[in-house]
């Protein structure tokens, strides 16, 4: 009796290949289903962590652009690369970020959950991100590190915050759209990766681009505006920033909300429509893939 032939040995090179786009869509949907099934306490804790992680990226960005002297373009690219730290911590370390989780819209459009499920998920994450970002701003202020570079770091923080609250509402919205298109593309690209190094590289370019181009990220602004507001309590730092009282007139709670609302709405459209829905139509709509 002739023995059956052994199955071919798996190709070790295949295990090193990146996932193809259609495979990425399946992996995203599986990840979304897992996320929506997490217990509430885990989602809350992971969302607070994500707010803090993005704040770390924003801190690093503020430091990187302080006194760099590199010129407009190179300085912003350097700052964007530094800010990438935030999403690296979120994706590799594990945390729940509001903007990146716009991909959870896939669960609803594919009929795997009612719209209420991702909506509740987003609401909890948004609040948790806010707590993490605000808490980080308070801790940085209390730490005294804003005094670095002879209060140059504080001056930079004030300037960033003042510029953000001065953005017109319509511009803030569209900057939010463009920002989260790139952020969700970065998260999407991570589903092609099989290694930590590949994920970091997938994150670095889109995030550097959105920061350098001046687009607006709602969770980053939950740190950047409050820390500038706190730094402005130091008259010396305000003088170092070269800002007049008129320039700081909108650096208050009203200015914070006026920036956060349109940017958040733009982030929802950018990630939910321009990434999640587009890829759903391309790879999943009426394909009969389960």
pLDDT digits (tens, 9 = 90+) for 67-93: 988 999 999 999 999 999 999 999 999
How far apart CA 28 and CA 119 sit, in angstroms, is 17
pLDDT score recorded for residue 8? 55
Spell out a b/e string for 125-145, using b for 16 or more CB atoms within 10 Å of the CB, else e. bbebbbbbbbebbeebbeeee
Number of other residues whose CB lies within 10 A of the CB of residue 50:
30
* Summary mean pLDDT of the chain: 90
pLDDT of 113 higher than 80: no
Q: Which domains does the chain have, with CATH numbers?
A: 19-283 (1.20.1080.10)
User: Which sign, positive or negative, has the C-alpha torsion 218, 63, 237, 140?
Assistant: positive
Q: How confident is the model at residue 290 (pLDDT cuts 50, 70, 90)?
A: very low
pLDDT score recorded for residue 34? 87
How far apart CA 225 and CA 162 sit, in angstroms, is 8
CB 127 within 8 A of CB 220: no
pTM score of the predicted model: 0.91
């Amino acid at each position: 009796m002739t023995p059956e032939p052994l199955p071919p040995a798996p190709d070790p090179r295949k295990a090193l290949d990146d996932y193809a786009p259609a495979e990425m869509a399946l992996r995203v949907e599986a990840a979304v289903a897992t996320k929506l099934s997490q217990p509430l306490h885990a989602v809350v804790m992971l969302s607070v962590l994500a707010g803090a992680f993005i704040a770390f990226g924003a801190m690093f960005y503020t430091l990187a652009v302080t006194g760099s002297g590199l010129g407009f373009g190179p300085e912003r690219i350097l700052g964007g690369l530094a800010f990438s730290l935030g999403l690296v911590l979120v994706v590799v370390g594990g945390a729940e970020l509001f903007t990146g989780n716009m991909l959870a819209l896939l669960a609803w459009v594919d009929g795997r959950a009612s719209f209420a499920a991702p909506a509740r998920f987003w609401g909890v994450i948004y609040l948790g991100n806010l707590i993490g970002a605000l808490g980080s701003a308070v801790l940085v202020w209390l730490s005294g590190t804003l005094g670095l570079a002879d209060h140059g770091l504080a001056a930079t923080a004030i300037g960033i915050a003042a510029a953000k609250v001065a953005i017109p509402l319509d511009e803030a919205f569209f900057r939010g759209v463009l920002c989260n298109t790139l952020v969700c593309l970065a998260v999407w690209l991570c589903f092609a990766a099989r290694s930590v190094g590949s994920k970091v590289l997938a994150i670095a370019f889109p995030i550097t681009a959105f920061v350098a181009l001046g687009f607006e990220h709602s969770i980053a602004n939950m740190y950047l505006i409050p820390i500038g507001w706190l730094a402005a309590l130091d008259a010396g730092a305000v003088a170092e920033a070269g800002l007049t009282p008129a320039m700081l007139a909108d650096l208050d709670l009203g200015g914070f909300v006026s920036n956060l609302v349109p940017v958040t709405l733009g982030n929802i459209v950018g990630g939910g429509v321009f990434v999640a829905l587009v890829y759903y139509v391309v790879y999943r709509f009426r394909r009969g893939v389960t």
